[in-house]
A and B are shown apart, each in its own frame.
Chain A
Amino acid sequence: MGKTLENQNRLLGYVRSFGTPRLIITGFVLLLFITAPIVGVDLTMQIGNVINRFSWNAVLVLALVPMIQSGCSLNFGIPLGILAGLLGGTLSIQLGFERFGVMGCFFAAILLATPFAVLAGGGYGWLLNKIKGGEMMIATYVGLSAIAFMCMMWLLLPYTSPTMVWGLSGEGLRTTISLDGFYGEALAGFLAIPIDPENGLYFPTGSILFFALLAFGIWAFFRSKTGTAMTAAGSNPQFARASGINVDRMRLLSVIMSTWLGAVGILVYQQGFGFMQLYMAPNNMTLPTVSAILIGGAAVKKASIPNVIIGTILYQSIVTMTPTVATAIIQTDISEVIRMIVSNGMILYALTRDMKGEGSR
């Protein structure tokens, strides 16, 4: 009797730590998977799509981990990294790296993005160290300002590659650039396993491997001396400082890592998606990315690799499955609205929770 009660309590405690919204979302996704075959949706196709979309987005979500761990909270400034990635990508095309093959073009883009990411991340990290406690709001607006600034730059920078600039005027980059013949499918096409080749559905082995590699790198990093110091700086800055850790340096490093991963993340996204989107598009990545990691079980101050994987799978399941399933059931596409409510509701939930003892005004 006592034991069952204890078990019950443990279960309750588990549920509580998991959080009601997360439970609802998981339930919702399960429901989607159950109803899909009933209403006549091709489940293989759906699962294949989820895997593909996971492979596009996972690195971006992974990019949030270092900053959360070092106490810089949710990186609403991820557009900064994305912009660095876009610079790398456009430069790689402009400089004609496609002559080294898709892989060459892709890794050249990463290499070219790196200095921008490090520079931007450095400045951004320095700024975040000046305003500890108010990171999220300032990160949001740094990201937005950077996007608006780069909007001007996309028009003004002297790009000339005919695939990228507007055909008529010959100057200013297009809003959407096709990556066919550049680094489109650079990773996804590597060792791809056919699932449903008639519908163009493949298992993106290369992308998944690349993500696994990066995720392993991050995992290993947080087990290294610097990594544990970073976690310490995040979980208890006073204590970390007392034990001789340079908290500001750790935070700076984490921001640079986050920004660089953001740059790589958007390039991975693009190679899967097949297009590069400029101008206002980076703005559409921020909130979905943040909410994905939160759905996966991360908190404002704590995140792990499993959070990234679970969160991305759950989030992308909602994004890919709701349109088809909802359309099959009620003949209207309500998915965009559901996605908006779910993702922002998740962020809202995380923000209104576990607030004790930090960030008080």
Chain B
Amino acid sequence: MKKKQRGTFNLGRLLQNNIVPIMFLGICIVCFPLSGRSPAYLLNELVTRLGRNTFLVLSLLIPVMAGMGMNFAMTLGAMAGQIGLILVADWQIWGIPGIILAMIVSIPISILLGVFCGSMLNKAKGREMITSYIIAFFMTGVYQLVVLFMMGPIIPIAHDSLKLSRGFGIRNTVSLLNMRQALDNLLAINVMGVKIPVLTFLIIGVLCLVIIWFRRTKLGQDMRAVAQDMEVARDAGINVDRTRVLAIVISTVVAGFGMIIYLQNMGNFSTYNAHSQIGMFSIAALLVGGASVEKASIGNAFLGVILFHMMFIMAPDAATTITGDSMIGEYFRTFVSYGVITVALIMYETRKRRNRSQTGYLLALAQKEEEARGK
């Protein structure tokens, strides 16, 4: 019944389904000459950002697969990653070993947060997204409690360079100078002035393979079944709640790794703000790539990061050209990020409603037929 409307090729429908990427391509094409940037500069920036952000965006795919929509609480993973990095910075573990250790430290925290988030979302079936959005805020409060008040007296922090001068709590900025771009620079190659962080891309490639493999496992199949229909899945003997919690846990752990990859590229991070917008930007990027709330692929993630960041790089420059004020560009790209999410959410809800009324219509039709036959 679901696939009934597809089948025939329809240009209008194709356009409608890909309206967001097409719109974005339009914005990028308009912005490019206005920004006055050279293609080489753009390419260099784009490759850097592709390596930096794709892992984070990929962390959103599994919850979508499990029918839980966009995981706004991927921020939780980002927080776990940051806690790992703070500790590793304090232990003075440098370079790639530091990155690996931060990832290992983030895993138990991510799992804990993921289980909490997943069980909350199980209590709010049907409104996962707004709930995960609020969970992100709630957990930010807990994160602040831990980092601002517990680091020092309860969690030992040895270095004064990390602590506030009052003796506890972490400073506004944590420097990752000793592991800055360690991942990106190992095995990096330079192609015509464009630095390609091969190792980072390899890691992203491995994650993609894992996601593809995961879809075929028993758990992956279960998730898809849960996404289709929870009741049916439950009747088929799938532990629906557990499957959903696992989807969130996986997403949180991957997001934690993604945050560490992201921050090692940046070289330092703002302790209390770095994570707060990661979820929003990652979701916007994924949606720009043509994903929807119920369907997202690896291709969407890559295309999304490319298109979204093209806009992100060029918008301030383009706005400076037009209005003479670069702030307009910054507001513009924020507006576009939010706007994309809004449009995608509206499309998802209307489609859901349309499907529902269609199902109702078909049911009514079937019933009528039955009655007619009965006579």
Contacts and interface: CB of A to CB of B under 8 A. Distances in A.
B120 A348 contact: yes
A337 B145 contact: yes
In this complex, the member of B127, B325, B339 whose beta carbon has the largest number of chain A beta carbons within 10 angstroms is B127
Contact of B328 (A138, A152, A337, A355): A152
Nearest to A361: B126
B160 interface: no
A149 interface: yes
Contact of B123 (A131, A148, A156, A355): A355
B141 A348 contact: no
A137 B133 contact: yes
Interface string B322-347: 01010110011011011101100110
A341 B140 CA distance: 8
Interface in B168-220: none
Interface in A315-361: 332, 334, 336-338, 340-341, 344-345, 347-348, 351-353, 355, 359-361
B346 A130 contact: yes
Main secondary structure of the interface of A (DSSP, over half): helix
B134 A134 contact: no
Interface string B306-336: 0000000000000000010101100110110
B137 interface: yes
A133 B338 CA distance: 20
B130 A76 contact: yes
In this complex, the member of B120, B142, B327, B349 whose beta carbon has the largest number of chain A beta carbons within 10 angstroms is B349
Interface in B94-129: 120, 123-127, 129
Interface stretch (A139-147, A199-207, A268-276): A139-147
A144 B279 CA distance: 14
A132 B356 CA distance: 12
Nearest to A127: B346
Contacts of B342: 138, 141-142, 144-145
B323 A134 contact: no
A136 interface: yes
A151 B346 contact: no
Interface residues of A, number: 41
Contacts of B123: 352-353, 355
Given A148-B334, A340-B137, A361 B345 contact: no
A138 B293 CA distance: 13
A134 B138 contact: no
Contacts of B337: 148
B335 A131 contact: no
Contact of B124 (A127, A340, A352): A352
B135 interface: yes
Contacts of B149: 332, 334, 337
Main secondary structure of the interface of B (DSSP, over half): helix
Contacts of A148: 331, 334-335, 337-339
A214 interface: no
B353 interface: yes
B16 to A, nearest CB: 16
A341 B145 contact: yes
B140 to A, nearest CB: 7
A172 interface: yes
Interface in A69-112: 76
A345 B135 CA distance: 8
A50 to B, nearest CB: 22
Interface in A268-318: 287
A72 B124 CA distance: 17
Nearest to B356: A133
Nearest to A279: B331
In this complex, the member of A137, A145, A152, A344 whose beta carbon has the largest number of chain B beta carbons within 10 angstroms is A137
A41 interface: no
A130 B141 contact: no
A344 B335 contact: no
B42 interface: no
In this complex, the member of A76, A133, A141 whose beta carbon has the largest number of chain B beta carbons within 10 angstroms is A141
Contact of A344 (B137, B323, B341): B137
A355 B353 contact: no
A145 B332 contact: no
B83 to A, nearest CB: 16
A61 B1 CA distance: 45
B124 A355 contact: yes
A132 B346 CA distance: 10
A155 interface: yes
Contacts of A130: 346, 349-350, 353
Contacts of A338: 141
Interface string B132-173: 011101101110110011000000000000000010000000
A39 to B, nearest CB: 19
A344 B138 CA distance: 5
B131 interface: yes
A359 B127 CA distance: 7
A137 B352 contact: no
B126 A337 contact: no
B133 A140 contact: yes
Contacts of B332: 152
16 contacts: A131-B350, A136-B127, A136-B130, A137-B127, A145-B339, A148-B338, A151-B335, A155-B323, A340-B137, A340-B140, A341-B142, A344-B138, A351-B127, A352-B124, A352-B131, A355-B123
Q: List the 10 shortest-distance A-B pairs measured between CB atoms, nearest first.
A: A340-B141, A131-B349, A148-B335, A341-B141, A352-B123, A344-B138, A134-B349, A141-B342, A151-B331, A145-B338
